[in-house]
Structure 1
């Protein structure tokens, strides 16, 4: 009887065995509550341009840059909604000569090039809005780079505006990808609605 019981137990255990290796559970990331999309004018009267910014952002004027005054009074940050935990940094330069414009353009490319060591790919997106005299390049930076998206906008004669997106968290392309895609749509809205407003108001 004991022998029969042991045989039945072994048969039961054998039938329950599975040679399939265990599969790790997919990594989960914190849920992000995205703000409802709505836009409002920039509202920075110290700048010579305006655009439609996400209503969920906060404009914070830059008063110092590495312990020095910014190159122009129109340096500011767009603080994203708290759930997104990031900032778009803006720096503006009034252009007085073609040589200065070339220098600013080259510097914008050089600043993006800093991320080459960690980026897996950098896509350049050419911007031309002829009717508004808005031209430039956006840089979509893939991989664990510190800044996943940068751009510059200019009329090539009087204005030069540079923007750079940064997140206040450790760079993880997988977990940040949905957030980056969400913020990129807002940046494209900025690019599409920017217009120059004449002389810088200082």
Structure 2
């Protein structure tokens, strides 16, 4: 009886050793989020009294009054806020407010890249800001003719800021903001 117990125990130990000896576990390779967005199709928006621009047809525009609009991207869970202000001998204040709005994100941002925008022919001058890191807004801009019109835009997502998670959508909408700036025409 002791011998059967010993053989059974030895057999179980041998089976355990054979089945438990496998190759070392390797970490899984890095994976990237594969999000595909439709190719952007731009159309003209001409409902503002002081300006017009092209926007991605994926966005839905809502009038917020005083020539200010929201472009909502329900599929990307984001909104672009367009705020219009007339220039009335206050261009310095408007520029300072636009820069202040961007640099309030310094607390969470890893970096802020400024890209000047100048189109002398159409009297459009401005700045495009890319905000890196876990800031609330990844892209912002302002455009002005410096005498009558001033337009600020910024993108916000409906989620807690996590740069890695929103990066694909932020890049997609960033391109839309550039098209908006380049196609903007003052009336």
What interval of TM-score do these two structures reach, taking the shorter chain for normalisation?
A: 0.7 to 0.9
Superposed displacement of residue 191, structure 1: 1.1
Work out the CA distance in 2 between the residues paired with 1:7 and 1:163.
69
2: CA distance, partners of 1:62 / 1:185: 23
1:119 aligns to what? 109
Query: Cα distance, 1:47 vs. partner?
Result: 2.6
The 1:165/1:11 distance shift into structure 2, 3 A limit, reads closer
The DSSP-based 3-state class of the residue aligned with 1:132 is: coil
Change (3 A) 1:13 1:83: same
CA–CA separation in structure 2 for the residues paired with 1:56 and 1:160: 25
Equivalent residue runs for 1:112-191 within 5 Å: 112-191=102-181
Q: CA deviation at 1:18?
A: 3.5
Query: Number of aligned pairs?
Result: 181
Point out where structure 1 has 5 or more consecutive residues left out of the alignment: 64-72, 198-202
Q: Which of 94, 98, 105 is the matching residue for 2:95? A: 105
Q: Name the SS of the counterpart of 2:121 in structure 1.
A: helix
2:178 match: secondary structure: helix
Match of 2:84 among 86, 92, 98: 92
| RMSD, matched Cα | 2.5
* Cα distance between partner residues in 1 of 2:38 and 2:12: 63
SS at match of 1:113: helix
Deviation at 1:94, TM superposition (A): 1.3
TM-score between both structures, scaled by the size of structure 1: 0.79
Q: 1:57 to 1:7 in 2, by over 3 A?
A: closer
Question: Stretches of 4+ moved more than 2 A in 1?
Answer: 2-14, 16-20, 22-29
Question: Which of the two has higher C-alpha Rg?
Answer: 2
Who is 1:59 aligned against? 61
- Paired residue for 2:69? 76
Which string of whole-angstrom CA distances, capped at 9 and with x for unpartnered residues, describes residues 132-163 of structure 1? 11110011001111111110001111111000
Number of the residue aligned with 2:4: none
What displacement does 1:34 show? 1.8
Comparing both structures, which one devotes a greater share of its residues to strand?
2
2:44 to 38, 41, 45: 41
